[in-house]
Structure 1
């Protein structure tokens, strides 16, 4: 078992499951500068060094997350922009947004599944975060809100390209244009979450059990599923089928299939090789 602590997160890795827990409840788990820096570092370390086969993300306190911490919007005292060309300032803003977007892109780009156990408020930037994962579950007290509209801005960290993959466009627009909350029951009805639980403990227990089941499967098969499902989401059927053929031509694993069948026949856990760590630097 391995544990690490960060300003905004606790991280525990055990039995091939990495559990990342937002742990700044006194601030409603709002996303300060440390959050944006630490999250991709944690996820990429787990993924690139093959430390686990699945990631579970949960939270503490009253709310999953209140979204962006207002401190993120404070001027950087080391960045003197007074009197600077407005176009240069706009380029700097765009580049900074792209860096923040990368923090959630890391969840989607990870080779392993990312599962969310949600409770309380999932607000603003938290919508961006959870839609970058693979599967979401929540408690009955959970609610979801595109808060950016309520504070006079347009969500810019991933809500719109990702949320409309999971729920009908009409619901994306209603949530975005009005800034209204939707409750857990509605979130399940429209497909944002897979199921709703009475308590946070029940929700997390179910998600961890699901993670355990995923971790028992061939990591190569699971990462193949993630790659091809995401590819199929963004490409037509013909292109996706062709890519599946290319994938299996290079990574079809007879030995993994034989082990899975043998384990089922012998009523035991299958023994599959883990994914390999990635290079520290590009080739």
Structure 2
């Protein structure tokens, strides 16, 4: 997939269902700009619709995963509002924030599982991104920070909504209100990441192994599992059970089910069709 300036998309191998999406502004530590937000949204829409894509690994090029919002770019965008009438400037800023939020939410709304592979710094907007992913892994030496409060900003792209659901309200509140740095090892203790790795190469190998395992499963079952998990966050148990019953009533009797049963009976690897 070409045509991007701030990201790179590569397929693991010609027949692999694993695709890599890399934030690619290494000289700026992958800081988030308007262009990067635009490309992120476009890329996840294209990956969602591509039947060859089963799993997406999201990482950063260079020394860091993401240094957060590009402050120079953001400052220039908001300076133009200073001369505007206050009410209209506020309404315009709100729309711009909503647009950036939607670019992050595109990660969560992608039907295919997204795995965050985190190294170096994961600061501010980087936390927004990884909390929108389905799975998160990092190096032990990675550094995280919900940094916005130190910049006199209320984090507004998803961290304050998603992080408490991942690590719990109290832990999220402490991180967001202090803006302190915490390591990959602490991120594992908090439950933000599922596992830490001792080196970048071990992280890449480990995440790829997990991605390939997911990619080997029934695409219908994987997409359904992600959809039901996300939907169930906002439902009571009874409502969630009703939702998954409705989902499976439409997808359970598939060729994937027949293939899974046949493969198990014949002690072979299943071969599933694309979505």
State how far apart, in whole Å, the 2-side matches of 1:250 and 1:129 are. 32
Structure 1 residue aligned with 2:135: 135
Q: Does 1:186 align with 2:167?
A: no
Change (3 A) 1:190 1:74: closer
- Is the contact between residue 139 and residue 199 of structure 1 (CA under 8 Å) also seen in structure 2? yes
Cα shift readout 1:9-30 (whole Å, capped 9, x = no counterpart): 1111241111011222211111
Structure 1 residue aligned with 2:94: 94
Q: In the TM superposition, what is the alpha-carbon distance from 1:82 to its structure 2 partner? A: 5.5
Q: In the TM superposition, what is the alpha-carbon distance from 1:255 to its structure 2 partner? A: 2.6
Structure 2 residue aligned with 1:200: 200
Gap runs ≥5 in structure 2: none
- Is the contact between residue 30 and residue 67 of structure 1 (CA under 8 Å) also seen in structure 2? yes
State how far apart, in whole Å, the 2-side matches of 1:213 and 1:253 are. 23
Q: In the TM superposition, what is the alpha-carbon distance from 1:4 to its structure 2 partner? A: 2.9
Q: In the TM superposition, what is the alpha-carbon distance from 1:83 to its structure 2 partner? A: 4.5
- Is the contact between residue 58 and residue 204 of structure 1 (CA under 8 Å) also seen in structure 2? no
Structure 1 segment 103-114 matched on structure 2, within 5 A: 103-114=103-114
Structure-1-length-normalised TM-score: 0.91
State how far apart, in whole Å, the 2-side matches of 1:97 and 1:142 are. 28
Change (3 A) 1:182 1:249: same
Structure 1 residue aligned with 2:75: 74
Task: Single out whichever of 183-192 and 124-133 deviates more from structure 2.
Answer: 183-192
Structure 2 residue aligned with 1:4: 2
- Is the contact between residue 52 and residue 274 of structure 2 (CA under 8 Å) also seen in structure 1? no
State how far apart, in whole Å, the 2-side matches of 1:52 and 1:182 are. 33
Structure 2 residue aligned with 1:32: 33
- Is the contact between residue 139 and residue 198 of structure 2 (CA under 8 Å) also seen in structure 1? yes
Change (3 A) 1:82 1:142: closer
Structure-2-length-normalised TM-score: 0.94
- Is the contact between residue 140 and residue 199 of structure 1 (CA under 8 Å) also seen in structure 2? yes
For the aligned residues, what is the CA RMSD? 1.7
State how far apart, in whole Å, the 2-side matches of 1:246 and 1:228 are. 10
Gap runs ≥5 in structure 1: 276-283
- Is the contact between residue 82 and residue 89 of structure 2 (CA under 8 Å) also seen in structure 1? no
Q: In the TM superposition, what is the alpha-carbon distance from 1:258 to its structure 2 partner? A: 1.8
Structure 2 residue aligned with 1:118: 118
Q: What secondary structure, in the 3-state scheme, does the structure 2 residue paired with 1:58 have?
A: strand
